[in-house]
Chains A and B, each alone.
Chain A
């Protein structure tokens, strides 16, 4: 007992390295390597722009992930509000200085990078909510007064993200936030009432939707409505996955993707490409990797005693799970196309950065498990 406390508090680097959660470490690395190959395939077997960028990013962010893992978890606990506000500020500034691409303002140029603050918000919202609820006793969680801050913490960024407009990310941010609130002990009853209220407000919300958003939802309900227009993506994606069969068409042989039938194949539809080339068993393997990652994060949370860490790890695991399932359900035609990247696999720096920071906090909570 004494020894462990000692090693954790007066930790030298060697001991810390020993404390790294290697299963998680290698699972992330494995996923990264798989993503290289998928990206390479998405460019028709050429080492081009997307593949290069993706590999550079992953390498940099993976190193960042390791480095940040050694940051004491107390740091995140203390500075959670600070980070949240920085990201919120960035999110607001997107509307002023933002870079417009394909009809929406999502990016902001900082130094040499285009950053998508909404993606970063996914993680930092979880940190700040975990911090908030870690201090609140469970009987107070469902207290209306105690609800005000979390709701604002969720809805302010969500509002700005919707305005970009980026419905997909906004929903993912909100889902993540609510998942954490639920975990913290918010009574299901209230959540149900909120859901019913939101469903009642749905028609109002629909009237605020952009035309393309409406058409996406309608198209989801009936992809054949407009096979060459809005339904095209879903149809082609289903064809690609379905034609993959049990063992897939083989690496670099996914005709749907290399003949350009597959839209957005390096971002949202990377799973489709993977599934076409590696088939049912390949997809299953990928799903298992994601499931293991989530399980690993939960088990890190389980082993930890601190409420902040527990809440964060569980919340992050749930969010991660939501990202994965929303993306997969979307490309498999189970959900409307909303623009949700597949963690680590999809091309996109901010998304990967956000996930990597999120993972590094998990890792940090493992390394510094005795400090909380």
Chain B
């Protein structure tokens, strides 16, 4: 016992030493753990809190209601209607096949739809509702409501969907909505942020241009969910905000009549207020029913639209490009006068054709017009006369005037589909084609052929800017009464100057001319073209006082005519449809107190005087008939204009 006591006291010491070391280690490790706790709970608290909330909270967005689009008189041209839908919560469905079977007995639900739905189901999370049917009939819906308790996981829902005017007259202008595609999401960041299953987005026209504000803000329901995604309780729900409503400058009645007038044809009609730039009508034909896109267009219908040679989906008023033909002549004439190239008294002898640079240039009138002054040349649309002044004027001065009047750039800044067109010049050719300008090209440019490409809207704008005395206007389609006020005031001032024969300049309006007499001269020549015998649109004139209008026809060739073909004297109706000329007509009315400008283009419609002017005549009558009504809606804004 004593023997061992020494070694055992040693042992006690050793144990005590080691337990001391242990105590130090213990304190160190505990502080390590405290440090870790501090790091997680205090330093990184925000990060983990948000992660915890991300775990815990899940939001279901609620589809907002799109804003309504109205015409000038408050008629709804794009609105929302109640639709009956069937939704499904995948997580609540015990047996999907059984559900499909039961559904197929209640509603129209075929194999294709079934497979489609299955595909969509794979991509969805089980807590995301999925839309089985978007647009059920009332009998189907009521039947479903009767059996809803026998089919777990489905939910009949009364929702809203877009509704458009059925005749299709506004299809291109208003556009249409359809389901958000992968491409839409890729392109549009905003859409990505608000996307909800079942959300529709604008695909064309105003629906697309105004999409951002018209689509509204989705509301949301916020739920606390457990680790399995099951909703535990609703925490908060916010109503979405409705999309902004829009009032347009369109007159649906005129729009509809115009659409009827060109139905069956391929073409466009644009009508514009020459002072405010209000678009009264913008029609494109052929048209389509936008309603069929709302719930997904069938493949057959889609194919039919895509394959139609007359391109029903294209908004020809903005995206159709045509050589302006003779409708450009007023601008060429104005350009020549402004640049002092010719005086109105300048005379050319038209013999039906003229030779320049070893090439023959033909007038539309084979026998020739004889001796022509400028007024007559516009009135009778003498090509030879315009070859001559184009030659003297030169392409660059011509294109400068054309650009001033709105050619070569978009008339609006809101439509994606709008084209800018082409105003040729020496620079343009060098830049875009890489070749030098030929003088011969100047000649044909003088009659609106060659490289010239214009949209019907540009032609209408050009006519409006001539008719208002030569001032720049900005076409508008959204009726914003506050924004237009300054324009109205500028015109009030202008009218005050005109009525009192004052000679003060009006800085509030942008002048497109240097001598107002030149503009007056061109307008007078246009009067002649419509209202005097020999005028190209004499046959389509209106004689009733207050209805008299002035216009310019145009016939633009879509092919080059060889000398042999010319000898055959082929009439348009004998030609193949795609080779026939485009018929164009631009006009303003009434002549005495002009207010509206119009452009009509009928693709392959033959000559302007026979194919386009008669349509314009009928429409002008209607427009003027409705002028008084329109003025009433303009309230006090426009009273004195």
- Cα of A308 to Cα of B49 in the assembled complex, Å: 49
CB-based nearest B residue for A138: B11
Q: B33 near A259 (CB under 8 angstroms)? A: no
Q: A245 near B41 (CB under 8 angstroms)? A: yes
Q: B37 near A241 (CB under 8 angstroms)? A: yes
CB-based nearest B residue for A244: B41
1/0 per position for A245-281, CB-CB distance to B under 8 A? Answer: 1100000000110011100000000000001000110
Q: A246 near B42 (CB under 8 angstroms)? A: yes
A95 in the interface, Cβ–Cβ < 8 Å? no
What is the distance, in angstroms, from B55's C-beta to the closest C-beta of chain A? 5
Q: B48 near A239 (CB under 8 angstroms)? A: yes
Q: B36 near A332 (CB under 8 angstroms)? A: yes
Residues on the A chain within 8 Å of B14, using CB: 138, 185
- Cα of A332 to Cα of B11 in the assembled complex, Å: 38
CB-based nearest B residue for A258: B226
CB-based nearest B residue for A311: B15
Q: A332 near B40 (CB under 8 angstroms)? A: yes
Q: A255 near B45 (CB under 8 angstroms)? A: no
- Cα of A85 to Cα of B34 in the assembled complex, Å: 39
1/0 per position for B44-65, CB-CB distance to A under 8 A? Answer: 1101110111011000000000
- Cα of A283 to Cα of B45 in the assembled complex, Å: 15
B29 in the interface, Cβ–Cβ < 8 Å? yes
The stretch among B16-24, B415-423, B510-518, B615-623 that forms the contact with chain A is B16-24
Q: Using a CB-CB cutoff of 8 Å, which residues 212-260 of chain A contact chain B?
A: 236, 238-246, 255-256, 259-260
Q: B11 near A185 (CB under 8 angstroms)? A: yes
Residues on the A chain within 8 Å of B15, using CB: 183-185, 307, 310-311, 314
B182 in the interface, Cβ–Cβ < 8 Å? no
- Cα of A301 to Cα of B16 in the assembled complex, Å: 10
What is the distance, in angstroms, from B277's C-beta to the closest C-beta of chain A? 58
From known contacts A255-B224, A325-B30, infer whether A280 and B37 are also in contact, taking CB-CB under 8 Å: yes
Number of A residues with CB within 8 Å of any CB on chain B: 47
- Cα of A137 to Cα of B228 in the assembled complex, Å: 60
Residues on the A chain within 8 Å of B26, using CB: 291, 294, 321
A89 in the interface, Cβ–Cβ < 8 Å? no
CB-based nearest B residue for A232: B227
Q: A284 near B37 (CB under 8 angstroms)? A: yes
1/0 per position for B195-233, CB-CB distance to A under 8 A? Answer: 000000000000000000000000000001111100010
CB-based nearest A residue for B19: A314
Q: B41 near A139 (CB under 8 angstroms)? A: no
Residues on the A chain within 8 Å of B48, using CB: 238-239, 241-243
Q: Using a CB-CB cutoff of 8 Å, which residues 311-340 of chain A contact chain B?
A: 311, 314, 317-318, 321, 325, 328-329, 332-334
From known contacts A245-B41, A287-B34, infer whether A259 and B225 are also in contact, taking CB-CB under 8 Å: yes
What is the distance, in angstroms, from A238's C-beta to the closest C-beta of chain B? 6
What is the distance, in angstroms, from B279's C-beta to the closest C-beta of chain A? 55
What is the distance, in angstroms, from B26's C-beta to the closest C-beta of chain A? 6
What is the distance, in angstroms, from B506's C-beta to the closest C-beta of chain A? 68
* Interface Cβ pair total, 8 Å cutoff: 132
- Cα of A256 to Cα of B55 in the assembled complex, Å: 8
Residues on the A chain within 8 Å of B16, using CB: 302
What is the distance, in angstroms, from A332's C-beta to the closest C-beta of chain B? 5
Residues on the A chain within 8 Å of B45, using CB: 242-243, 245-246
What is the distance, in angstroms, from A180's C-beta to the closest C-beta of chain B? 10
Q: A298 near B10 (CB under 8 angstroms)? A: no
- Cα of A294 to Cα of B22 in the assembled complex, Å: 11
What is the distance, in angstroms, from A112's C-beta to the closest C-beta of chain B? 34
From known contacts A137-B8, A260-B228, A325-B33, infer whether A185 and B18 are also in contact, taking CB-CB under 8 Å: yes
Which of A182, A243, A302 is close to B49, meaning CB atoms less than 8 Å apart?
A243
- Cα of A245 to Cα of B30 in the assembled complex, Å: 19
- Cα of A166 to Cα of B52 in the assembled complex, Å: 31
B12 in the interface, Cβ–Cβ < 8 Å? yes
From known contacts A139-B7, A245-B49, infer whether A259 and B42 are also in contact, taking CB-CB under 8 Å: no
- Cα of A318 to Cα of B21 in the assembled complex, Å: 11
Residues on the A chain within 8 Å of B23, using CB: 298
Residues on the B chain within 8 Å of A246, using CB: 41-42, 45
What is the distance, in angstroms, from B21's C-beta to the closest C-beta of chain A? 9
Q: B44 near A280 (CB under 8 angstroms)? A: no
CB-based nearest A residue for B57: A255
- Cα of A325 to Cα of B22 in the assembled complex, Å: 13
Which of B42, B224, B225 is close to A245, meaning CB atoms less than 8 Å apart?
B42
B4 in the interface, Cβ–Cβ < 8 Å? yes
CB-based nearest B residue for A261: B227
- Cα of A279 to Cα of B7 in the assembled complex, Å: 50
Residues on the A chain within 8 Å of B11, using CB: 137-138, 185, 307
- Cα of A239 to Cα of B54 in the assembled complex, Å: 10
What is the distance, in angstroms, from A276's C-beta to the closest C-beta of chain B? 8
B38 in the interface, Cβ–Cβ < 8 Å? yes
Which of A138, A238, A318 is close to B22, meaning CB atoms less than 8 Å apart?
A318
What is the distance, in angstroms, from B85's C-beta to the closest C-beta of chain A? 31
Determine which residue in B23, B34, B41, B224 has the highest number of CB atoms from chain A within 10 A of its CB, and name it. B41
What is the distance, in angstroms, from B199's C-beta to the closest C-beta of chain A? 28
Q: A259 near B51 (CB under 8 angstroms)? A: no
Q: A307 near B12 (CB under 8 angstroms)? A: yes
Determine which residue in B7, B36, B225 has the highest number of CB atoms from chain A within 10 A of its CB, and name it. B36
From known contacts A185-B14, A239-B48, A284-B37, infer whether A260 and B7 are also in contact, taking CB-CB under 8 Å: no
What is the distance, in angstroms, from B40's C-beta to the closest C-beta of chain A? 4
Q: A183 near B18 (CB under 8 angstroms)? A: yes
Q: A242 near B33 (CB under 8 angstroms)? A: no
What is the distance, in angstroms, from B527's C-beta to the closest C-beta of chain A? 79
- Cα of A268 to Cα of B65 in the assembled complex, Å: 50
Residues on the B chain within 8 Å of A328, using CB: 33
Q: Using a CB-CB cutoff of 8 Å, which residues 321-361 of chain A contact chain B?
A: 321, 325, 328-329, 332-334
What is the distance, in angstroms, from B591's C-beta to the closest C-beta of chain A? 77
Q: A241 near B22 (CB under 8 angstroms)? A: no
What is the distance, in angstroms, from A189's C-beta to the closest C-beta of chain B? 14
- Cα of A302 to Cα of B12 in the assembled complex, Å: 10
- Cα of A328 to Cα of B309 in the assembled complex, Å: 75
Which of B12, B33, B47 is close to A287, meaning CB atoms less than 8 Å apart?
B33
CB-based nearest A residue for B47: A242
Q: A239 near B51 (CB under 8 angstroms)? A: yes
Residues on the B chain within 8 Å of A242, using CB: 40-41, 44-45, 47-49, 51-52
CB-based nearest A residue for B17: A185
- Cα of A242 to Cα of B228 in the assembled complex, Å: 22
CB-based nearest A residue for B56: A255
What is the distance, in angstroms, from B126's C-beta to the closest C-beta of chain A? 14
- Cα of A284 to Cα of B262 in the assembled complex, Å: 84
Which of A138, A284, A287 is close to B7, meaning CB atoms less than 8 Å apart?
A138
Q: Show the binding face of A for B, using Cβ within 8 Å.
A: 137-139, 182-185, 236, 238-246, 255-256, 259-261, 275, 279-280, 283-284, 287, 291, 294, 298, 301-302, 305, 307, 310-311, 314, 317-318, 321, 325, 328-329, 332-334
Q: What are 16 A-B pairs with beta-carbon distances under 8 A? A: A137-B11, A183-B22, A239-B51, A241-B40, A243-B53, A260-B228, A261-B55, A275-B37, A275-B41, A283-B37, A284-B34, A314-B15, A317-B22, A321-B29, A325-B29, A334-B36
The 10 closest A-B pairs by CB, nearest first: A242-B48, A243-B52, A260-B227, A138-B11, A259-B226, A137-B7, A242-B40, A280-B41, A243-B48, A261-B227
A sample of 4 more A-B contacts (CB under 8 A), given A242-B52, A243-B48, is: A242-B41, A259-B225, A283-B41, A317-B22
